[in-house]
Amino acid sequence: MKRILENEAMNGAETALGYDKIVEQHYRWLIEPHVNRILKLTAFEQNKKLSILDIGCGTGRLSLEIAKKAQADVYSVDCSLDMLRVLDANMAHTHTKGGVRLISADAKKLPFRDRCFDVVVCVNMFHHMPDPLGALRQIKRVVKDDGIVILSDLTRPVSPILVDLYVSVFGVLYDDVMKKQYRNSLSASFSAGEWRRLAARLGRRGLTMFNSFPHYINMHKKMQRHS
């Protein structure tokens, strides 16, 4: 099955609210595992306030959950102002340990200095990009020499029949807007082989990759650079 691109930015209030509903419904799969992974991978730095970058943060469910459970300053970046508006509304109902800063920016041109983040996390964003190498270069640029990179995204099914199956099973409670978003995202995602090639660009040393849910790929890497 060939990749069918979707828009890089999820613009529009209806789109942003539909996305927020999907993430909220699948908290156990889309949010909780990543927060737990961050807490586990940074456990040795309990007395340090972390700087964490959430790229393609969407409506901020992950950013806010990180800020609730970790001693961290969280920088939430998205190129969609509609997504950030929903994040701003979600913040009003969330008590956090650290601060959450909303930033409108392109993942391929991040407005941060080199090597300034302890953790860079990017969940469900790469499938929006025709070519994610620019964003991957930026991730490597802004993470500290001993920092942690966490990536997670959908993998593209091998056939349209599987797309239909996933939408009917995992999107059984979705409304029409949510089902359309889910279908488009599955079709725009990278295949397992394409993900392996992207992982090689990040560097295999210290890299852990694994699958979750039937159609998600996850990876985290402890950077091992020398100044």
> What's the confidence (pLDDT) of residue 96?
81
**Exposed / middle / buried, residue 213 (Cβ in 10 Å: 0-12, 13-18, 19+):** middle
> What's the confidence (pLDDT) of residue 93?
86
pLDDT at 227 over 80: no
> What's the confidence (pLDDT) of residue 225?
66
Q: How confident is the model at residue 212 (pLDDT cuts 50, 70, 90)?
A: confident
Q: pLDDT tens digits, residue range 23-80?
A: 998 898 889 999 999 999 998 776 789 999 999 999 999 999 999 998 899 999 999 9
Task: Write down the H helix ranges in the chain.
Answer: 13-25, 27-30, 32-41, 61-69, 81-91, 133-142, 160-170, 176-188, 192-202
Question: How many residues are given for the chain?
Answer: 227
pLDDT at 122 over 90: yes
Q: What are the chain's domains? A: 27-155+191-222 (3.40.50.150)
Residue pointed to by tokens 């025709």:
130
Percent of the chain at pLDDT exceeding 70: 98
Tokens of 5: 């691109």
Instruction: With beta carbons less than 8 A apart as the criterion, state whether 101 and 67 touch.
Output: no
> What's the confidence (pLDDT) of residue 63?
97
Instruction: With beta carbons less than 8 A apart as the criterion, state whether 34 and 69 touch.
Output: no
In this prediction the pTM is: 0.94
Q: pLDDT tens digits, residue range 80-115?
A: 999 999 999 999 988 887 789 999 999 999 999 999
**What are residue 185's phi and psi, to 5 degrees?**
-70, -40
pLDDT at 169 over 80: yes
> What's the confidence (pLDDT) of residue 193?
93
